[in-house]
């Protein structure tokens, strides 16, 4: 615990340094302090996961409901691990990245506080500490979105959406938690957990629904996701990496902590609801990721997709536990947690790489990129591995976690109750469909962004980013490889975290070893052996290829259909690459396309210019949120009439209100 | 039976499988071309023509497009490697190949997906219009076909209670009545559509065409020549062989080697060749009988495949 407090201390000192030091030393000093803090936290989290020891820390309570209480337990430690690992990378990245607005006092201070709160939220163990850290996390990230004023209009819009939805979510969580405190003797999580069974079932369900709304919004679950694809791209890259990999995971943490731990599982429909949110999010996110042309927006939608899969795992675990299958439930929960950790690393790496691309070319529009593999080979390699991981290429981390998730779902088929069965079935369908769609999105990202010819001057003039940024990206590739190749070594760490709220200690259904073996299911993967096979065949083919034919290739022009001219403008763009799929799913995506043809004045048979515009907006935003906003606005305009500035009227309002209260009380 | 013998036979079965795919894949392409030619009243090229083409291509000069990167030579190797590994561990000749315990549905499907992604990246690498067109179309088809493949195989796994392919086949052998169950038949329909889409046959794609506006796969490999084209074609042929033989074995597992004797290894090989030829014959006849679909009619076909596979899972769950 002391080491963890030291880690928090390093981050706090980093924040103070960022706020006080001069511009030149601000970034390196605060970033290195926070990096040390994060690395310490990684160590502490690993230690808790290995030993399973929980420890607690309380500050003195000067007033009731004040004071901070922190607890380190395996579930929290897992989420601390995910955020501190990405946090360290984001801080190192900052050294090379922070220029202009990002190096400003506010931005750096907020980044440090953001990192600090990401470590503190999973450790907070009382309602007030939790809400304090939660709100600080929301506020610091909100200010980070506003850092970059070059896209100020979008950034302000994004911040507004984020601010409103996150505050609504926080209010919902607070009410839910306060409902739970009504019968308990104190406000610490231990008290809540001990007394939650004495609540009436309907109160517990109501509290869970309220809490779920708030946490699902943070996890980007559709239909509460609207802020996410706006806010994540607008933040500076280290912040968006943290938001998209660690902050969204806090939503999942909250659902598990409150639903499984504090409320002890509840009834099956809670988890069916969680899983249904997951199914919708996974499909919606994956579909939008395939059509996005903004690099970071694509990544943000893919976050919604992966978090959807995580929610399917969590929901399936709850439903299976309710069906009396604790060991399968354990498997599904392990899969969800493994996916959280794997996602944190590869999505962090991808967001940092997106920042590197933006830094090198000045744009994140895929339609203006291309050919970066020649100028930015290290970044390209990071993107290739991380994209491979997210596409679930075997022997990378995404594959191990999705395989485990499928095992949990498939095993539930054998003897789960009907509600659980429906969850499993929908989960399997979502997993299959998102697999194909994710492949399209990330082949597009890598193929259009990094291969081919540069589609703009800026892309052609790109240069590789500084060493510190490359180190940070490489750091986040490590988990993709480790969890991918030897998942068995990592999975044992998740054992205790996944047992949270599962009642008695569950024996892990996964055998020991480097691979993943679930003997009761006759299911197994040995990624290390697969990797040896793949690399072996690859090397063999390469050798044979070198021997059989001449060694060096002659460079020639690509085939130009009989013409000499091949301009970069002739290539497919991200928009055109996704066009067939956009057409297939036009009913869901509702794309808006305009073609504007200008003719030359002499003849209508010759075109002077053709303008094509294609927009894919968020249907749920347009159809779901806009009407509510418009209605709220109307109510606001109407309510304005009540306030005409006359003091007499206000006094009358006060008098009437008092009367009403007296009548009601009487 | 000692552990060494088991391993030895596993290695032997794996070697036979890889060699069968390597030689048999191109031959299968040749056989299908021959069947189509005969059905259309032509003589057609000899069955070994694809192998001769490979030999010819390997002796040609190595040419790379000017703007291409390392992806261009790497992609065919990735396709080959993923297909060889998938073919080596899949239960084709034997239910106990090397690493057969890792031959999970998801492993095989995602190894194939890795190959498709590598091919699509290869199409985008040279920075030409046609390459992008091919990649975009291939990925669109793949995005709709891969889920159907996964769900269809999951339908088969319900009765066996495992997603491990060798276990699915062994339990099918002990329960022959499963084969003609409604769930299996629905899954078979879905798998046939998927296999036709994944291997780029009519009505999804026409392997014999160079007609620019309709091509999918040919557009993607337009920048390939010489040795790299040979590797690419070999990889695609092996993929075709793997998919056909997997479908054949999933529905007609009889003849597959389950014990450890030389005779059963031989029998397994012969049975695999016969079953795969049967599937190839069927697909070739479908090809002769149908015309290529318009690109934007394809989603209907593939969605049909997906719906069939989901129905197969639901039927499997209801009748289990």
| Structure token pair of residue A218 | 């943070």
Using CA atoms, how far apart are residues A415 and A213, in angstroms rounded to an integer?
A: 30
Phi and psi of B69, rounded to 5°? -115, -165
Q: What pLDDT, on the 0 to 100 scale, is given for residue B210?
A: 66
Determine the Cα–Cα distance for residues A174 and A214; give it in Å rounded to an integer.
Answer: 9
Q: Which residues of A touch B136 (CB under 8 A)?
A: 572, 576-580
Neighbours of A546 (CB within 10 A): 12
Give the pLDDT of residue B91.
Answer: 93
pLDDT at A151: 62
DSSP bridge pairs for A69: A58
**Interface touch B147/A436, C-beta < 8 Å:** yes
Average pLDDT over chain B, rounded to an integer: 90
Scored b (16 or more CB within 10 A) or e, B68-90 reads bbebbbbbbbbbbbbbbbbbbbb
Q: What is the token pair recorded at A487? A: 């998942």
Asked if the Cβ–Cβ distance from A453 to B67 is below 8 Å, we say: yes
Distance CA(A53)–CA(A73), nearest Å, equals 7
What pairs with residue B63 in β-bridges?
Answer: A554
Please report the pLDDT score of residue A168 as a whole number.
95
Question: Measured between alpha carbons, how far is A193 from A197 in angstroms, rounded to an integer?
Answer: 8
Query: Which neighbouring-strand residues pair with A126?
Result: A188
- Domain limits of chain A? 1-262, 267-544, 623-665
CA distances for A432 relative to A93, A121, A316, A587, B139, angstroms = 35, 33, 16, 20, 15
**What residues pair up with A516 in beta bridges, in sequence order?**
A525
Residue A108's nearest CA partner among A163, A178, A26, A36 is A26
| pLDDT attached to residue B181 | 86
Q: Per-residue b/e over A498-521, b at no fewer than 16 CB within 10 Å?
A: bbbbbeeebebbbeebebbbbeeb
Exposure string of A252-261, with b = 16+ CB inside 10 Å and e = fewer, is bbbbbbbbbb
Query: Whole-angstrom Cα distance, residue A527 to residue A399?
Result: 9
Q: B63-65 and A554-556 as β-strands: parallel, antiparallel, unpaired?
A: parallel
Q: How does DSSP assign A118-160, residue by residue?
A: HHHGGGB-BHHHHHHHHHHHHHHHHHHHTS-GGGHHHHHHHHH
State whether B104 and A526 contact (CB < 8 Å).
Answer: no
* Total CB pairs under 8 A between chain A and B: 252
> Which of A513, A533, A539, A564 is the best mutation test for B, with the most CBs of B within 10 A?
A533
Q: Hey, what's the torsion of the CAs at A616, A373, A379, A306, to 10 degrees?
A: 40
Contact partners, residue A603, CB within 8 Å, separation at least 6: none
pLDDT digits (tens, 9 = 90+) for B22-54: 999 999 999 999 999 999 999 999 999 999 999
Q: B63, B248, B114, B1: which is closest to A484 by C-alpha?
A: B114
Domain ranges of chain B: 3-319
Q: Do B136 and A529 lie within an 8 Å CB cutoff?
A: no
Distance from CA of B110 to the nearest CA of A (A): 6
* Stated length of chain B: 320
CA distance A180 to A188: 11
* CB B228 within 8 Å of CB B62: yes
| Cα angle value A276/A277/A283 (rounded, 5°) | 90
Closest in A371, A432, A526 to B67, CB measured: A371
Could you give the percent of chain B with pLDDT greater than 90?
A: 58
Interface test with A, best of B15, B18, B81 (most A CBs within 10 A): B81
User: What ranges in A219-291 are assigned the alpha helix state H?
Assistant: 228-234, 237-242, 248-254, 268-291
Task: Kindly state the DSSP code that residue A245 receives in the 8-state scheme.
Answer: I
**Range scoring the smallest mean pLDDT among A55-64, A372-381, B70-79, B260-269:** A55-64
Q: At what angle do helices B129-160 and B298-319 cross, to 10 degrees?
A: 10
Task: Please give the angle made by the CA atoms of A462, A468 and A470, to the nearest 5 degrees.
Answer: 55
Residue A428 contacts B where some CB pair is shorter than 8 Å:
yes
Helix (H) or strand (E) holding A611, with range, is strand A607-615
pLDDT per residue over A54-71, tens digit each? 888 888 776 766 778 999
Q: Is the peptide bond before B203 cis (omega within 30 degrees of 0)?
A: yes
Alpha-helix runs per DSSP H in chain B: 3-39, 49-58, 71-89, 105-125, 129-160, 165-174, 182-198, 217-220, 226-251, 262-289, 298-319
> pLDDT at residue B161 above 80?
yes
CA atoms within 13 A on the CB side of A235: 31
Nearest to A574 by CA among A292, A381, A380: A292
Is the Cβ–Cβ distance between B192 and B243 less than 8 Å?
no
Q: Which residues of chain A have pLDDT under 70?
A: 62, 64-65, 149-151, 501-507, 549
Alpha-carbon span B15 to B23, nearest angstrom: 12
The answer to whether the CB atoms of A406 and B163 lie below 8 A apart is yes
Q: Which residues of B touch A388 (CB under 8 A)?
A: 114
Q: Is the backbone peptide bond immediately before B165 cis, with ω within 30 degrees of 0?
A: no
The residues near A504 (Cβ < 8 Å, ≥ 6 apart) are: none
**Which run of H or of E encompasses A341?**
helix A326-361
The Cα–Cα gap between A440 and A578 comes to: 8
Assigned token pair, A409: 């779902």
Looking up tokens 């009834």, which residue turns up? A267
Q: Which two tokens mark A153?
A: 């209009």
Distances (CA, A) of B114 to A305, A381, A573, A600, B146: 20, 16, 22, 48, 11
Q: What angle do CA A624, A625, A631 make, to 5 degrees?
A: 110
Nearest to B131 by CA among B67, B197, B208: B67
Nearest Cα to Cα of residue A146 among A134, A130, A162, A131: A162
Q: What is the DSSP letter of A610?
A: E
- Torsion region of A280: left, alpha or beta (phi above 0 gives left; psi -120 to 50 gives alpha): alpha
Q: CA of B127: which chain A residue's CA is closest?
A: A452
Contact B26, B2 (CB under 8 A): no
Chain B, 131 to 170: residues with Cβ < 8 Å from chain A are 131-133, 135-137, 139-140, 142-148, 150-151, 154, 157-158, 161-164, 167
- Contact by Cβ (8 Å): A448, A366: yes
Output A489 or B111, whichever has higher pLDDT.
B111
Tokens of A463: 């240069």
Contacts of residue B96 in chain A, CB cutoff 8 Å? none
Instruction: List the structure tokens of B252.
Output: 């007609």
């Amino acid at each position: 615990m002391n080491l963890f407090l030291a880690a928090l201390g390093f981050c706090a000192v980093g924040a103070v340094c960022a706020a006080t030091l001069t511009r030149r030393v601000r970034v390196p000093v605060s970033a290195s302090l926070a990096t040390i803090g994060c690395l310490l936290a990684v160590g502490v989290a690993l230690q808790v996961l290995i030993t399973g020891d929980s420890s607690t820390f309380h500050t003195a309570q000067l007033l009731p409901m004040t004071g901070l209480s922190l607890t380190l337990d395996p579930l929290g430690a897992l989420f601390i691990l995910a955020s501190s690992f990405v946090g360290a990378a984001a801080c190192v990245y900052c050294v090379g990245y922070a220029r202009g607005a990002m190096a400003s006092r506010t931005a750096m201070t907020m980044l440090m506080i953001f990192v600090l709160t990401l470590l503190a939220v999973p450790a907070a163990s009382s309602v007030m500490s939790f809400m304090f850290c939660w709100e600080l996390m929301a506020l610091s990230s909100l200010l980070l979105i506003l850092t970059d004023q070059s896209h100020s209009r979008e950034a302000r819009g994004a911040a507004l959406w984020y601010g409103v939805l996150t505050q609504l979510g926080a209010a919902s969580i607070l009410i839910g938690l306060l409902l739970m405190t009504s019968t308990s003797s104190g406000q610490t999580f231990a008290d809540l957990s001990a007394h939650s069974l004495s609540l009436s079932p309907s109160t517990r369900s109501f509290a869970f629904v309220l809490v779920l709304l708030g946490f699902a919004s943070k996890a980007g679950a559709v239909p509460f996701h609207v802020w996410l694809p706006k806010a994540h791209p607008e933040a500076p890259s280290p912040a968006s990496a943290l938001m998209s990999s660690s902050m969204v995971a806090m939503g999942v943490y909250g659902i598990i902590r409150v639903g499984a731990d504090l409320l002890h599982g509840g009834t099956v429909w809670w988890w069916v609801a969680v899983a249904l949110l997951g199914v919708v999010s996974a499909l919606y996110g994956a579909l939008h990721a395939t059509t996005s042309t903004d690099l970071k927006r694509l990544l943000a939608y893919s976050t919604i997709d992966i978090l959807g899969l995580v929610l399917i795992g969590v929901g399936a675990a709850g439903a299976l536990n309710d069906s009396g299958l604790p060991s399968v439930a354990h498997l599904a929960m392990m899969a969800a947690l493994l996916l959280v950790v794997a996602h944190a690393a590869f999505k962090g790496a991808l967001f940092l790489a997106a920042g590197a691309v933006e830094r090198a070319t000045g744009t994140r529009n895929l339609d203006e990129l291309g050919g970066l593999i020649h100028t930015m080979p290290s970044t390209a390699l990071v993107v290739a591995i991380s994209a491979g991981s997210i596409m679930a290429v075997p022997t990378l981390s995404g594959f191990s976690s999705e395989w485990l998730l499928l095992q949990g779902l498939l095993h539930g088929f054998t003897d789960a109750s009907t509600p659980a069965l429906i969850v499993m079935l929908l989960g399997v369908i979502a997993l299959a469909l998102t697999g194909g769609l994710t492949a399209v999105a990330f082949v597009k990202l890598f193929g259009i962004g990094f291969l081919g010819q540069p589609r703009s001057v800026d892309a052609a003039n790109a240069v590789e980013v500084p060493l510190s940024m490359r180190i940070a990206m490489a750091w986040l590739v490590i988990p993709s490889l480790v969890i991918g190749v030897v998942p068995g070594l990592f999975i044992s760490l998740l054992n205790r975290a996944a047992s949270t709220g599962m009642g008695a200690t569950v024996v892990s259904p996964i055998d020991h070893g480097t691979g993943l073996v679930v003997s009761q299911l006759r299911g197994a993967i040995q990624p290390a052996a697969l990797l040896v096979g793949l690399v072996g065949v690859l090397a063999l083919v390469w050798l044979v290829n070198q021997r059989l034919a001449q060694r060096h290739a002659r460079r020639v022009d690509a085939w130009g259909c009989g013409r000499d001219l091949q301009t970069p403008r002739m290539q497919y763009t991200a928009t055109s690459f996704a066009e067939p799929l956009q057409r297939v799913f036009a009913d869901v995506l509702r794309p808006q396309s305009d073609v504007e043809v200008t003719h030359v004045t002499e003849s209508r048979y010759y075109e002077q210019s053709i303008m094509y515009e294609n927009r894919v907006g968020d249907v749920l935003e347009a159809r779901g949120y806009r009407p509510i906003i418009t209605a709220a606005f109307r109510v606001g305009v109407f309510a304005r009439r009540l306030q005409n500035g006359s003091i007499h009227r206000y006094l009358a309002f006060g008098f009437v209100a008092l009367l009403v209260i007296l009548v009601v009380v009487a | 039976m000692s552990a060494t013998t088991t391993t030895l036979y596993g290695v032997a079965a794996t070697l036979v499988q890889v060699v069968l795919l390597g030689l048999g894949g191109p031959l299968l392409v040749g056989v299908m071309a021959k069947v189509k030619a005969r059905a259309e009243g032509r003589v057609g090229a000899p069955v070994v023509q694809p192998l001769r083409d490979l030999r010819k291509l390997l002796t040609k000069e190595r040419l790379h497009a000017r703007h291409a990167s390392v992806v261009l030579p790497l992609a065919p190797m990735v396709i080959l490697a993923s297909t060889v590994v998938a073919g080596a561990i899949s239960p084709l000749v034997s239910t106990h190949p090397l690493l057969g315990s890792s031959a999970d549905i998801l492993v095989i499907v995602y190894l194939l997906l890795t190959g498709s992604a590598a091919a699509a990246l290869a199409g985008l690498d040279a920075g030409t219009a046609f390459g992008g067109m091919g990649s975009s179309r291939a990925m669109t088809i793949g995005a709709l076909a891969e889920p159907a493949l996964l769900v269809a195989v999951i339908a088969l796994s319900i009765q066996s209670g495992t997603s491990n392919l060798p276990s699915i086949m062994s339990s099918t052998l002990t329960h022959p009545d499963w084969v003609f169950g409604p769930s299996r038949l629905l899954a078979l329909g879905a798998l046939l559509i998927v296999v036709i889409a994944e291997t780029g046959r009519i009505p999804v794609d026409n392997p014999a065409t160079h007609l620019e506006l309709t091509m999918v796969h040919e557009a993607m490999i337009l920048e390939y020549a010489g040795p790299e084209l040979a590797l690419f074609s070999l990889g695609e042929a092996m993929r075709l062989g793997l998919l056909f033989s997997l479908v054949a074995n999933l529905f007609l597992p009889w003849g597959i080697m389950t014990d450890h004797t030389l005779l059963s290894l031989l029998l397994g090989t012969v049975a695999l060749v016969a079953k795969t030829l049967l599937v190839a014959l069927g697909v070739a006849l479908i090809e002769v009988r149908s015309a290529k679909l318009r690109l934007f009619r394809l989603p209907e076909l593939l969605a049909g495949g997906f719906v069939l596979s989901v129905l197969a899972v639901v039927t499997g769950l209801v009748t289990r």
